[in-house]
Structure 1
Amino acid sequence: MNCDNDWKLTPTSFEYFDGKVDCILCIDETGTPSLKNYNQNNIWFSMTGILIEGDAGFSIIEDLMDIKRKYWNDATFKGKRVIFHSREYRKKIGPFNPKFVDNKVLENDLYNLLAESDFKIITSGINKNYLAKSYSNPYAIYWFSLLFVVERFALYLEKNNKKGAIVLESRGRKEDKGLLESIIPNIEKGTEFVSDKACSHIKGIYFNRKRTIDNKQSYPFLEIADMIGYAMHNKISQNIESNLYNIIKNKIYNYPNINGYGLKIFNRK
């Protein structure tokens, strides 16, 4: 992290815990954040954040890297650092092609890591039908979904007297800058439902790619958010409780009383 307020000036990446925050919330999305030409197959958009404390974070990085080194030479595939990406993983393509890896054994190792790792989950889901019917001029879906997650993260930080930062997957310089400018007022002034005092515990919003520019490193927390986000999305949109969901559901913040804490749904109508 750079100087305390540099993150407000331009989209910046989060590289490591440096003592300025106690925890980070790494967020990935599932679905398409648009009301244009959507159908009943993609009426849901969700965001899932993985809330990780500093000490636990170091362990998660090492454990995930151990898995990568176990299955791929130098944790790389075709000259790039292997990343756990839900789509490639589910479709068994790229580094997850059965020609290169035993997926059943890999899945067992990965799920054991996720079950044993210390993190919490905060997820939001938006029903596009409900959003369109609720507002004559609906909020931007990505921003609205992020706001739900930010509010719950802020309340968690205030309750536990901690400082935190948010890490989003970069969607491009222009998109990142627009989102940053739109969300900063909510961090500085609070939201309709969460006070500025609570939001002041958030000390930065950062934007990271899946890999570094040289393709030699990745950001494991975003990879985990990606993998878990798909399981959470299926639970929200279709009430599907996959094996992965059942492994990690007790990590949803304030489980089993998750509604309004680790889960915000807008709305099921």
Structure 2
Amino acid sequence: MRFSDYIVFVDESGDHGMDSIDDGYPLFVLSCCLISKRDYMSTVVPAMQQLKFSTFGHDAVILHEREIRKDLGPFSVLREPNRKQAFIQALTDVLDRTPMTVFSAVIDKRQLAEHRRREENPYELSLRFCLERIFYSLRRLGQTSDAEGPVLTHVLCESRGRNEDADLELAFRRICGGDNFGNIHLPFEPVLTDKKNNSIGLQLADLVARPIGLKQLRPSQSNRAWDVIERKLDRDPLGRYIGYGLKCFP
């Protein structure tokens, strides 16, 4: 089995639990970034490292949307408004130049509860949709199989603890084993890794997730990141991204 020329990075925004729902942000958002390994090595990582060096003087800082937004930890240096604005603009420019395709699912947990589907796991629902759509995209690129058999694509997800990781891997393998819309085998392999490993791809997926959720929650609110992300969502031949790059459920 050969490896795909592409890699997928996955992160989330919001809590996937159904026991309590935050009225201020009642969503669970899963974001997946599909990037060619060639672009990742030659363009994506150097651009993000350059941004880190120019802002912090080193590249050990892990970009985390919540900490950036609240000026926490190493991002306390951004409390000066002009410096914060310059950093956000530079970060937006990097995202804009990043050659990636975005797949995302937004689950409104309030509606999930109203439909008496509280027992369903928003993470698994989101993951199923995203993996299905990524598979179809890779198939169009000739990256799902060759003459020797399946072509394996690795999917990097943030590690969240032993029990959560076990649940995620079980759900992942169930979906790839045929529990999906087409009842087909999906040639993906999960890689659960700690965010402290400073994966640029995971940081991209983190930065993408919340703006997608905010666009669905408060569509009239200014959302500069969404304006960039929208152009990167997977689309059908007619240019539509709903149901392709973006699934809102239920």
* TM-score clears 0.5: yes
- Per the alignment, residue 147 of structure 2 pairs with none
Does residue 38 in structure 1 map to residue 21 in structure 2? yes
1:226-241 paired onto structure 2 within 5 Å: 226-239=206-219, 240-241=221-222
Q: Deviations over 1:71-112 (max 9, x none)?
A: 22332xxxxx20110011111222222368822222222111
Give the alignment's TM-score, normalised by structure 2.
Answer: 0.86
- Per the alignment, residue 113 of structure 2 pairs with 132
Q: Relative to 1, partners in 2 of residues 1:25 and 1:99: Cα closer, same or farther, differing over 3 Å?
A: closer
* Aligned 8 A contact 1:253 1:262 in 2: yes
Which of 61, 69, 85 is residue 104 of structure 1 equivalent to?
A: 85
Q: What amino acid does structure 2 have at the position aligned with 1:210?
A: K
* Aligned 8 A contact 1:32 1:42 in 2: no
- Per the alignment, residue 167 of structure 1 pairs with 156
Q: Deviations over 1:10-46 (max 9, x none)?
A: xxxxxxxxx7122122111111111112243232111
Q: What amino acid does structure 2 have at the position aligned with 1:233?
A: G
Q: Relative to 1, partners in 2 of residues 1:188 and 1:31: Cα closer, same or farther, differing over 3 Å?
A: same
Q: What is the aligned length?
A: 236
Secondary structure of 1:47 counterpart: strand
Secondary structure of 1:122 counterpart: strand
Q: Relative to 1, partners in 2 of residues 1:225 and 1:118: Cα closer, same or farther, differing over 3 Å?
A: same
* Aligned 8 A contact 2:112 2:118 in 1: no
Q: Relative to 1, partners in 2 of residues 1:39 and 1:224: Cα closer, same or farther, differing over 3 Å?
A: closer
Does residue 60 in structure 1 map to residue 60 in structure 2? no
* Aligned 8 A contact 1:26 1:225 in 2: yes
Secondary structure of 2:135 counterpart: helix
- Per the alignment, residue 208 of structure 1 pairs with 193
Structure 1 residue runs of 5 or longer lacking an equivalent are 5-18, 76-80, 213-217
* Aligned 8 A contact 2:156 2:192 in 1: yes
Which of 233, 246, 252 is residue 227 of structure 2 equivalent to?
A: 246
Percent sequence identity over matched residues?
23
